[in-house]
Amino acid sequence: MAVATAPYADKTDEQRAITEMVRQFVDEQVLPVAEKHDHEDSFPDEVVEQMKELGLFGVTIPEEYDGMGLDLTTYAMIVEELSRGWISIAGVVNTHFIGSYLLMKFGSEDQKERLLPRMATGEIRAAFSLSEPGLGSDVQAISTRAKRDGDDWVINGQKMWVTNGLLSGVVFLLVKTDPDASPPYKGMTCFITEKEPGVSEVPGLTIPPKIKKMGYKGVESTELVYEDYRCPAENVLGGEEQGLGQGFGQMMDALEVGRVNVAARGVGIAQRALELALRYSQERKTFGKQIADHQAIQFKLADMATKVEAARLLMLKSARLKDAGERSDLEAGMAKLYASEAGKEVVEDSLRIHGGYGYSKEYEIERLYRDAPLLLIGEGTSEIQRMVIGKKLLQRHKI
Ligand SMILES: Cc1cc2nc3c(=O)[nH]c(=O)nc-3n(C[C@H](O)[C@H](O)[C@H](O)COP(=O)(O)OP(=O)(O)OC[C@H]3O[C@@H](n4cnc5c(N)ncnc54)[C@H](O)[C@@H]3O)c2cc1C
């Protein structure tokens, strides 16, 4: 008896059209300039302007706020394509995406109307800031404080590793508003702090020169130093009545979609490393034949391609669950863990296949090798992902 089957399609027509458009943009506009910007550690203004024109700053922002109104799955497919070109380009939109998610889910109507349309066009970019010099994984240990004074909250403290720290126009900032709260997360609040992009000194806020990094060049990572910085009370995310003391939960929710986002970056960088290895292994000859004809190299390519596919499937599953309104905390943790580790491993294998040339700045794989480790760290390290996965597993299978 014949069994009815549906044709296999991993993308809708709309998803295919948009990812093909982004791939073409990456091939024509990003890959040709990525090495130059990476080596100079310069911000790719011209590429970012084109990303604005393509609407890439408003992918998930609803149409009523002038965005494209697309789902997380389509966004993740776009991030994969951008990261295939250069993860720094994806980094410019990634914290922006997290900021828009926070506003869409927790913002008051007034906050959404004021900020989302300008964020959708890329006129203002968003950053999000949890980490401090003394903490990253242990978010409840945040020491930056806000105290109420008249109509404002006055913020003091130091933030660290803020992606888009200088050029953003809005920073979603997690601080302590009640240091005596027990447990500590109940005393944490998210503020929407607005600032002039590119200005490093305003009353109460200093942005020191960007941190020098191994990779992930171009996009700036900065500290933010707050000294009696005044933030209007109306800028508590969701409004004071709804948002005070809710910051930890809001940020953790946003980090869950942030993990899908990092997984997509892992898939993108691994995909590119695989493409480079497939090409190089058919060009380079040793012992009278292409290195691709040596079984050891074919086995490496086979493992690399299998990891890329597995990472992509985990990433897509976690995004699709979220879009369907289902729980995806466990799956997002798995996707982030696997795709970031796979990204690093596939990039390293590609570097090995490139032999000595892989170690040269003349070859793209050298940049990927410096970029890939970032994905093991941001949005929770691999150890933190394993903690999340273990905890969620036991919750779902409690006896
Ligand atoms: C380029 C870059 C960009 C970044 N962008 C941002 C940003 O935009 N906004 C932001 O807020 N932050 C950002 N970060 C910070 C990032 O989120 C943190 O670096 C990350 O969460 C890890 O924190 P940490 O560096 O303080 O390491 P720590 O928390 O000090 O951890 C050090 C080591 O100990 C391990 N560890 C910690 N706790 C445990 C435990 N309980 N069990 C087992 N192992 C443990 C960790 O896995 C890690 O291996 C960025 C970082 C980098 C490098």
Active site residue 379: yes
Q: Is residue 7 over pLDDT 90?
A: no
Q: Is residue 2 over pLDDT 80?
A: no
Question: For residue 330, is it within any domain?
Answer: yes
Task: List the CATH number of the domain containing 115.
Answer: 1.10.540.10
**Which one-letter amino acid corresponds to residue 65?**
Y
Nearest to 168 by CA among 237, 85, 224, 235: 224
Cis before residue 209, ω within 30 degrees of 0?
no
For residues 346 and 264, membership in a common domain is answered with yes
Q: Is residue 277 over pLDDT 70?
A: yes
Token digits of residue 64: 């009523």
For residues 260 and 357, membership in a common domain is answered with yes
For residues 217 and 354, membership in a common domain is answered with no
For residues 146 and 224, membership in a common domain is answered with yes
HSE-CB of 152 using CA atoms within 13 angstroms: 9
Count: domains in the chain: 3
* Band of pLDDT at residue 1, cut at 50, 70 and 90: low
- The three-class DSSP label of residue 300 is helix
Question: For residue 277, is it within any domain?
Answer: yes
The pTM (predicted TM-score) of the whole model is 0.97
Question: For residue 39, is it within any domain?
Answer: yes
Task: List the CATH number of the domain containing 273.
Answer: 1.20.140.10
pLDDT for the residue numbered 325: 94
In short, whether 131's Cβ falls inside 6 Å of ligand 1 is: yes
In short, whether 164's Cβ falls inside 6 Å of ligand 1 is: no
Of the three residues 244, 275, 292, the one that is the final residue of a domain is 244
For residues 36 and 92, membership in a common domain is answered with yes
Task: Specify the residue with its C-alpha closest to ligand 1, atom 13.
Answer: 161
For residues 233 and 255, membership in a common domain is answered with no
Q: What's the CA gap between 110 and 301, in Å, rounded? A: 52
**pLDDT digits over 91-101, tens only?**
999 999 999 99
Phi and psi for 156 in degrees, rounded to 5? -135, 135
Q: What's the CA gap between 105 and 289, in Å, rounded? A: 57
Task: Specify the residue with its C-alpha closest to ligand 1, atom 14.
Answer: 161
Q: Is residue 3 over pLDDT 90?
A: no
247-283 helix and 87-106 helix, angle to the nearest 10 degrees = 160
Question: For residue 2, is it within any domain?
Answer: no
For residues 47 and 167, membership in a common domain is answered with no
Structural domain range at position 143: 126-244
Say how many C-beta atoms besides its own lie within 10 A of residue 271's C-beta.
Answer: 22
Ligand 1 midpoint to CA 336 (Å): 14
For residues 65 and 85, membership in a common domain is answered with yes
**pLDDT digits over 36-79, tens only?**
999 999 999 999 999 999 999 999 999 999 999 999 999 999 99
Token digits of residue 371: 């970029």
**pLDDT digits over 196-206, tens only?**
999 999 999 99
Question: For residue 3, is it within any domain?
Answer: no
Q: What's the CA gap between 338 and 332, in Å, rounded? A: 10
For residues 196 and 279, membership in a common domain is answered with no
